[in-house]
Amino acid sequence: MLRRLLYLPLSLLLLSLLCFAFMQLSPGDPVEQRMAMQGTRAMSQDPAAYFTRYRRLATELGYDLPPFYLTLSNASLPDTLHRIVVATQRRTVRALAVRYGNWPATQQYYRAVLRLAYHLPGARDASITAARKLLTHSAPAFITRELAVLGGADGRDIRAAFTALVAGASPSTTLWPRVIWHGTANQYHRYLMGLLRGELGISYTDRRPVAQKIARALPRTALLNGLALFLVYLLAVPLGMYMAYYRDSTFDRAATFLTFLGFGIPSFWVATLLANFLTTPAFGMDYFPSMGYGDVPPGAGWWMGLRITSSHLLLPVACLTYPSLAYVARHLRAAALLQLRQPYVNTALMKGMTGAQVLWRHVFRNAAFPLVTLLGGLLPALLAGSVLIEQVFNLPGMGRLLYTSALARDWPVVTALVLLNGLVTVLGLLLADIGYLLLDPRLRLEKRRQL
Q: Can you list the domains of the chain with their CATH numbers? A: 32-196 (no CATH), 212-450 (1.10.3720.10)
Cα dihedral value 426, 6, 371, 374, nearest 10: 30
Q: Average the pLDDT over 201-228 and give the result.
A: 86
Question: Is the pLDDT assigned to residue 166 strictly greater than 90?
Answer: yes
Q: Average the pLDDT over 415-432 and give the result.
A: 82
pTM: 0.76
The confidence band for 445, taking pLDDT boundaries of 50, 70 and 90, is: very low
pLDDT confidence of residue 448: 45
What residues are paired with 267 via a beta bridge?
A: none
pLDDT confidence of residue 91: 92
- Rounded to whole angstroms, the Cα distance separating 114 from 96 reads 15
pLDDT confidence of residue 434: 76
CA atoms within 13 Å, Cβ hemisphere of 198: 4
Judged by DSSP in three states, 33 sits in helix
Return the number of other C-beta atoms located less than 10 Å from residue 105's C-beta.
Answer: 22
pLDDT confidence of residue 306: 66
Q: What is the largest CA-CA distance in the chain?
A: 108
